[in-house]
Structure 1
Amino acid sequence: MREIITVQVGGFANFIGSHFWNFQDELLGLADDPYADEIFKHQQMDMDVLYRSGETPQGILTYSPRLVSIDFQGTLGAMNSRGSLYDSSPATKDVYTWEGNISTHTSEPQKKNLFLQSLDDEQISNKNKGGEIDHGREYQEKDIIECLESGVKFWTDYTKVLYHPKSLTELSGLWMDAADFSNYGIGKEALHCGHQGEEIIERLRFFVEECDHIQGFQFIVDDSGGFSAVAAEFLENIADDYTNTPVLLYTARDPRSYKKLGQRNEKIFQVLHDAVSFSRLSSLCQLIVPMGLPFLSTSKACTFLSIEDEKPYHSSAVYAAALHSTSIPFRMQYLRQPADPHDVSGAINMNDMVRMLSDNARKNTVAILDISMPAPSLRGKDVRQSLLSHFHPLTYEIEEDVEDLHSVEAVNIHGVIGPGGHCASVSEVKDSVDYAYDHAKSRPKFCHLSATRTPLPIPLPFPSIFSSLIGSQGELQGGSTTSSTSRGSLDVHSIPLATRLRMSNAILPYLESRLNNLMRFGIQRGAAGSDLIRGWGLSRDELEDMGESLTRMVMNLKPGDEISDDSD
């Protein structure tokens, strides 16, 4: 067994995680659905990598994500912090040592939306993707989709997964609004409130001790505010307790977190947080992947999508799809004689993937994430040459169209449509990728390709973000992208998807920005942000260590060049 434990820290990270686990739940359901497309019956993916088997006190077998989630108290919506898998709450005991009057203050529980009610009533379990359509059920599903599009407030509002009681953690005792939990300094002490840090470590240890041979930790961190410090505190404990276990960390940002910084103090506040957050998190993992565009809706990555940036329910779905794709190689089954050698190729464990991307001459630990959603088909004139051109970055502040002869890439392609209109075989995908690189202006020093014929399934609670040009299997149809009509899970059942993790000097602007801002506003003599940094509990020695770490990252990508301490 090659288990992975997933850790989600912060609001937007949990929005992403909710979609991510919905994808996995959909794959599990389709594998057992006699009416589902045959392509989902032979996935050749080991879901035990992400899931654990268990049993309730009543003897009912369970299958739940190997997950630790951390968020604010009150962000679980209608879900109990113990989840719904075991359907139990800790019993309350009468207090006998107090003889005075007792008053009880309770708040009204969050009402479940139509989607969650439908799960409770077991009125729908999986979408019917074949056979006759139940028009009564179709009408109900349309109501559910409309309800989600207009009313998602919490990440639990659209989750269809049953979580283990040890998975969900609410940070209590912070006594502040989420908007005030806005910087690295304010999050440093969050885990120390009421010994919550010890509790979270125990929850993690519970999942680790169940593993036969853990291959790594998959972290998703909302690093736009105090949760980056919460994650750093957590990662320090992991580094001490699980020294040889790799950490693959994705930092994620909601488009709404990119604020217009009018006053100079606001700018200093934000850029110092960004520099400190990235420096600390990158030092505590083997590979860090920044993702989060300020205007996702108008980015090239969303050419065929209809995203509303003000809805985290929308934007998180794109990042969740990317994470699903990048995690596929870690759970491909190692089969000596697969039933169909054309179905899957490129299995690799997390440790080998991290070493491949980071353990080169540069010793770099920062990767860029690109996506093609949906991925183009392999049919049509000159389509092979356009395969790479359909990749667009989800990482912000990078240089595009840069030539780097030392770059290393990990490409994941799944469910693409082949020349004959069928799901392309692995050999067809390989041929197309080779052809694309052979005819590109430059090619990476090394590229690892993972391919599978299984597309990304679109579960019912997925947002209606597909343009009218996307067909039921994710194929691109003729027409104009200016149409205001968007399509959801009732119209689009699956899509081909491709992602790319690349180690390239295109990340230099991202690194240099953080280094220059740290030097200018935090470290230099008379720096404008020195008092702010001290208020965050960071010493000058710590800042200088961060500066040296960022300097090494930059120098590894551009050796021999001088690094400026100035930034406008």
Structure 2
Amino acid sequence: MREIVTLQLGNLSNYVATHFWNAQESYFTYAEDETSLVDHNIHWRPGIGEDGSETFLPRAVVYDLKGGFGPLKKVNPMYEVAPGQDAALASLWPGQPAVHRQTPLSQNTYQQALDAGLKPSALQASDVRYWSDYSRVYYHPKSLVQLYDFELNSSIMPFERFETGAELFESLDKEDEIVDRDWRPFVEECDQMQGVQVYASLDDAWGGFASSYIERLRDEHPKTCVWVWGVQSPVAGVPREKRRVRLANTALSLNSACAQASMVVPLGVPDGARAVPASIAVDSASPWHVSALLATATESASLQSRLRLGGGSSRPLGLSDMAECLNVSGRQTLANMRMGVGPHAVDAGERPEMDLSQIGSLKDGAGRLGSSGGGSERAFGRLSSVRRPEGARDESGDVTMTEQRPIIGSSVVRNHQTPLLYPLLDSFPSIYNYDLQGRESIPVHTTLTSDGSIVHRMRNLRTQVAPSISLEERENLVNGLAELGAAYEDEWSSGSDSGDDDL
């Protein structure tokens, strides 16, 4: 059934993925004469609840630190056992157990309204304390995995370095074999899994945890497509020393993930006043806002991997097809993301206005932030997705794709269009300042590209992080990033690598 199993690693990743699951939930249709364009069996798993009722829950494994789940219960109402009916407990102890419970966190009014079956009022940024505060879906109890070794936002034991995450994974895996315990049950339910979708933070300790986890997944599934959305927190207001730590984490995470994953797409809110269009208002201090922007991009770019066969597209692409379009040489496992939102975005041509591939920071001679540092912008592969309203399609129709390169050296291009717009739900913040009165969805244009700008992004990243990396790791990291950048060079851009000998 072309199933995709989602792995969520880290607090910001769970913020982004929560918007993703809310969007998937909105695609369900309940009238007999309605058929959704989305094949729900790809991301949702059927099951039986404790009371015998049928369930349909996300195919996901969700990790977070202690305190990261907020008021979300591990066991939802579908799987709660009625008091006095736990036969296993009664057989172990005939007496009455003494239960000591910590005072649970209170739900916000939004979740209370959802539980009561009422229409919730609009959410405000102050209402969202955790990613579970705006979640509209139930998860299977096995999906939620809390790691008690570290606490969210702890100042005593901060979970902020790549090495810390890698060490935590190794210790947990040695003790419990967490991949077999947490991951395998969801994979064994699949008939024909098309791939793995990973949401992971790159710039904190979750990058190290994710790198080790992906390496284990690759050992278990050597031919399965592993697609990684690597999210990064905004750096505005962050002290310089912590920025260096985050940058080093990002470099280490990319170096490791790109060696194991089929495709890695780094994502972050653009830095600088002019980088974000005036029509988009994102509060960089609010994970709810930041994740909403990133989720719009990831959900739109991957939409074709979950469409029904013959529904809105003559041939939907799978995750492997998407990766092959971008990885032309077999070594290009890193891609850039651009996005445009709103009615004007779908008519913007091949290049949406906003660059979400934030890797390090680049400054030109005037001290302004740049996007790629110049150089070749030649695309080896480009994957475009346009969510255009019905009746506003261009002359190319639903799907336009180049199946193979007519000439050696030319770009591989696949353009996909669908009338299914991005849903603007009551759980979604008002970050898009368009005329949205009464509008429940919005057009989106995304492009994923593997192009020559990655050479300069990697070169800049090496230059920035080399002084802050230990001597033992520096050579491997610098060489790894150099090889990653070299995969995007060609005869037009492979000039002298100035400054490399100084690293």
TM range (shorter): 0.7 to 0.9
Matched, 1:82 2:75: yes
Q: Partner amino acid for 1:72?
A: L
CA 401–270 in structure 1, closer or farther in 2 if over 3 Å, else same: closer
Structure 1 300/417 Cα, relative in aligned 2: closer, same or farther at 3 Å? farther
Does the 8 Å contact 2:201/2:230 carry over to 1? Answer: yes
Matched, 1:316 2:281: no
Q: For residue 323 of structure 1, report the CA deviation from its aligned partner.
A: 1.2
Deviation at 1:74, TM superposition (A): 1.6
Q: Which has the higher helix share?
A: 1
Distance in 2 between residues matched to 1:145 and 1:229, nearest whole Å? 37
- Which residue, 46, 51, 73 being the options, matches 1:58? 51
Q: Deviations over 1:382-439 (max 9, x none)?
A: xx5x33354421111442886534431000111x247xxx4537845669x99xxxxx
Q: Equivalent residues in 2 for 1:150-549 (5 A)?
A: 150-174=126-150, 177-178=153-154, 180-193=158-171, 198-255=177-234, 259-261=238-240, 269-293=245-269, 295=271, 298=273, 300-335=275-310, 343-358=312-327, 360-361=328-329, 363-376=331-344, 384=347, 386-397=348-359, 398-399=371-372, 403-414=376-387, 416-417=388-389, 422-424=391-393, 427-428=396-397, 445-467=411-433, 469-472=434-437, 491-522=438-469, 529-530=470-471, 540=472, 543-549=474-480
CA distance in 2 between counterparts of 1:273 and 1:8 reads 18
Kept after mapping to 1: 8 A contact 2:47/2:54 = yes
Conservation of the 8 A alpha-carbon contact between 1:276 and 1:518: no
Distance 1:452 1:175, change over 3 A: closer
Residues 1:154 and 1:256: Cα distance change in structure 2 (over 3 Å): farther
- The residue type equivalent to 1:446 in the other structure is V
Structure 1 residue 283: deviation in Å?
A: 1.6
- Does the 8 Å CA contact 2:352/2:445 hold for their aligned counterparts? no
**Closer/same/farther in 2, CA of residues 175 and 352 from structure 1, 3 Å limit:** closer
Query: Counterpart of 2:321 in structure 1: which amino acid?
Result: D
Is the 1:325–1:497 Cα contact (8 Å) retained in structure 2? yes
Q: Secondary structure at the match of 2:62?
A: strand
How far apart in 2 are the matches of 1:89 and 1:168? 21
Cα 1:104–1:49 change in 2 (3 A) is: closer
1:283 is paired with a residue whose SS is helix
SS at match of 1:157: helix
Tell which deviates more after alignment, 452-461 or 195-204: 195-204
Q: CA deviation at 1:241?
A: 0.9
Distance in 1 between residues matched to 2:48 and 2:117, nearest whole Å? 21
1:489-542 per-position Cα deviation (integer Å, ceiling 9, x unaligned): xx43110111111001122332113333454443xxxxxx44xxxxxxxxx3x6
CA contact (8 A) 1:345 1:450 kept: no
Residue type matched to 1:191 in 2? F
Structure 1 contact 344–426 (Cα < 8 Å) conserved: no
Higher mean C-alpha deviation, range 187-196 or range 69-78: 187-196
CA separation in 2, counterparts of 1:272 and 1:253? 12
The aligned residue for residue 565 of structure 1 is: 500
Contact in 1 for aligned 2:23/2:423 (Cα 8 Å): yes
Query: Following TM superposition, by how much is the alpha carbon of 1:200 offset from its aligned partner in structure 2, in angstroms?
Result: 4.5
CA distance in 2: counterparts of 1:323 and 1:230, whole angstroms: 21
Change (3 A) 1:271 1:567: farther
What one-letter code is carried by the residue in structure 1 that aligns with 2:435?
I
Aligned counterparts of 1:213 and 1:301: Cα–Cα separation in 2: 40
- Aligned residue for 1:526? none
**Contact conserved, 2:338 with 2:352, CA < 8 A, in 1?**
no
1:486 aligned partner:
none
Q: Is the contact made by 1:184 and 1:228 (CA closer than 8 Å) also made in structure 2?
A: yes
1:206, 1:362 → 2: CA distance? 31
Closer/same/farther in 2, CA of residues 149 and 565 from structure 1, 3 Å limit: same
Alignment CA distance shift 1:178-1:387 (3 Å): farther
Q: Distance in 2 between matches of 1:211 and 1:426?
A: 38
- Measured in 2, the distance between the counterparts of 1:377 and 1:187 equals 39
Identify if the C-alpha distance between structure 1 residues 458 and 444 changes in structure 2 by more than 3 Å, giving closer, same or farther: farther
What is the TM-score when the length of structure 1 is the normalising length?
Answer: 0.75
| Residue number in structure 2 paired with 1:6 | 6
Q: Is the 8 A contact 2:288 2:429 kept in 1?
A: yes
User: 2:16 maps to what in 1?
Assistant: 16
Q: What SS does the corresponding residue of 1:231 show, helix, strand or coil?
A: helix
| Structure 2 CA distance for partners of 1:73 and 1:554, relative to 1, 3 Å | same
Give the drift of 1:273: 2.5
Give yes or no for contact 2:338–2:351 (8 Å, CA) kept in 1.
Answer: no
Measured after TM superposition, the shift of residue 301 of structure 1 is: 4.5
Give the secondary-structure state (helix, strand or coil) at the position aligned to 1:499.
strand
Query: Aligned to 1:47, which of 9, 28, 40?
Result: 40
1:224–1:257 CA contact under 8 A, matched in 2: no
SS of the residue corresponding to residue 247 of structure 1 reads strand
For residues 435-467 of structure 1, what are the alpha-carbon distances to aligned partners after superposition, in whole Å with 9 as ceiling and x for unaligned? xxxxxxxx9722101211111112211112221
The 1:105/1:509 distance shift into structure 2, 3 A limit, reads: farther
- How far 1:192 sits from its partner (Å)? 4.5
- Pairwise CA distance, 1:249: 0.6
**What SS does the aligned partner of 1:459 have?**
coil
| Equivalent residue letter for 2:299 | H
Is contact 1:301-1:373 (8 Å) kept? no
Taking a change above 3 Å as real, the CA distance of residues 316 and 498 of structure 1, as seen in their structure-2 partners, is same
Give the one of 62, 66, 72 matched to 1:73: 66
Whether the 8 Å CA contact 2:200–2:231 is kept in 1: the answer is yes
Structure with more strand by fraction? 2
2-structure distance, mates of 1:51, 1:299 = 39
TM-score, normalization by structure 2: 0.84
Amino acid at match of 2:7: V
Q: CA deviation at 1:292?
A: 0.6
